[in-house]
């Protein structure tokens, strides 16, 4: 029994889904990994303790051997490509984008191909051919080229839409980006998880950003894992299994 009433709506929904014959699947995506940090260490320890597979979206242009060496023994971690340099190329009157239609398509494709090759080489056993666009935004013209350079799936945010490549989105964001830029309230997060379960039949993607977690974010992650990691009504799957 979870000693936190805030989780009860989620536990009730999972039980209801199980009674209807569905075992809900969750997957975990954490963005902006570049180098070993204390926060990344806490993230790895927590996910390892609860046996929750995690996908780290790594920024190819900003990372190096230090991170790959650090993650070498983290068997539960998979690696995805987080754009190229996480740089904004949109004008001030538009939302931030690295992979929008603001540059030549050939330049963007070259960067994404380079990032794919670099991370595949650095993480031969952990690499997943999944693209995670910075800020979860990408132009349709870029999406149309992804399979030509080796990508097998694309992960943005929200209910999946039709695309020429497999979509594996995240649906619930831990961080309050428009407010305190820390962890959102447990009540709001649980409500979003319940909503996502009912809106999609795909694995429910939970999105984190270890570098900006405050204590509220860490505490919610722990309570969520306690409520779900050994719950027979759901399971956490690796990104490879989800794809």
CA atoms within 13 A on the CB side of 16: 9
Indicate the range of 1-10, 19-28, 127-136 predicted with least confidence: 1-10
Query: How does the average pLDDT of the chain come out, rounded?
Result: 96
Q: Taking 60 as the threshold, does the pLDDT of residue 184 lie above it?
A: yes
For residue 1, pLDDT beyond 60: no
pLDDT in tens, 63-78: 999 999 999 889 999 9
CB 74 within 8 A of CB 44: yes
C-alpha dist (Å) from residue 133 to 80, 101, 217: 10, 13, 23
User: What's residue 2's pLDDT?
Assistant: 45
Question: What is the DSSP annotation of 169-208?
Answer: -B-EESB-TTTTSSBPPHHHHHHHHHHHHHH-SSPEEEEE
Domain ranges of the chain: 24-177+200-214
Q: What is the pLDDT of residue 5?
A: 86
Average pLDDT over every residue of 31-36:
98
> 3-state DSSP call for residue 140?
helix
The answer to whether residue 62 scores a pLDDT higher than 70 is yes
Asked which of 2-16, 187-201, 223-237 is least confident by mean pLDDT, the reply is 2-16
pTM of the entire predicted model? 0.96
DSSP labels, 38-66 = HHHHHHHHHHHHTT--EEEEE-GGG--HH
Give tens-digit pLDDT for 81-124: 999 999 999 999 999 999 999 999 999 999 999 999 999 999 99
| pLDDT at residue 175, rounded to an integer | 98
Average pLDDT over residues 162-177: 97
Q: Residue 3: pLDDT above 80?
A: no
Burial classification of residue 107, based on how many CB atoms lie within 10 Å of its CB (0-12 exposed, 13-18 middle, 19 or more buried): exposed
The tokens describing 236, both together, are 């956490």
User: What CATH class has 24-177+200-214?
Assistant: alpha beta
Q: Say what the pLDDT of residue 123 is.
A: 97
């Amino acid at each position: 029994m979870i000693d936190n009433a805030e989780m009860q709506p989620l536990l009730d929904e999972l039980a209801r889904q199980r009674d209807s014959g569905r075992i809900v699947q969750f997957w975990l995506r954490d963005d902006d990994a570049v180098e070993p940090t204390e926060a990344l260490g806490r993230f790895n320890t927590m996910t390892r303790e609860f046996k929750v597979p995690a996908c780290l979206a790594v920024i190819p242009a900003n990372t190096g051997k230090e991170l790959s060496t650090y993650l070498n023994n983290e068997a539960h971690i998979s690696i995805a490509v987080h754009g190229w340099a996480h740089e904004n190329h949109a004008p001030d009157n538009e939302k931030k984008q690295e992979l929008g239609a603001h540059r030549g398509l050939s330049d963007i494709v070259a960067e994404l191909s380079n990032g794919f090759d670099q991370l595949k080489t650095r993480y031969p056993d952990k690499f997943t051919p999944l693209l995670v666009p910075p800020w979860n935004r990408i132009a349709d013209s870029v999406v149309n080229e992804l399979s030509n350079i080796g990508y097998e799936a694309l992960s943005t945010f929200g209910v999946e839409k039709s695309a020429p490549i497999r979509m594996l989105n995240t649906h619930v964001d831990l961080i309050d980006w428009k407010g305190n830029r820390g962890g959102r309230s447990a009540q709001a997060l649980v409500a979003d998880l319940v909503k996502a379960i009912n809106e999609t039949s795909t694995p429910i993607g939970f999105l984190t950003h270890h570098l900006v977690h405050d204590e509220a974010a860490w505490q919610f992650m722990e309570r969520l894992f306690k409520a779900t990691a050994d719950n027979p009504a759901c399971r956490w799957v690796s990104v490879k299994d989800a794809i």
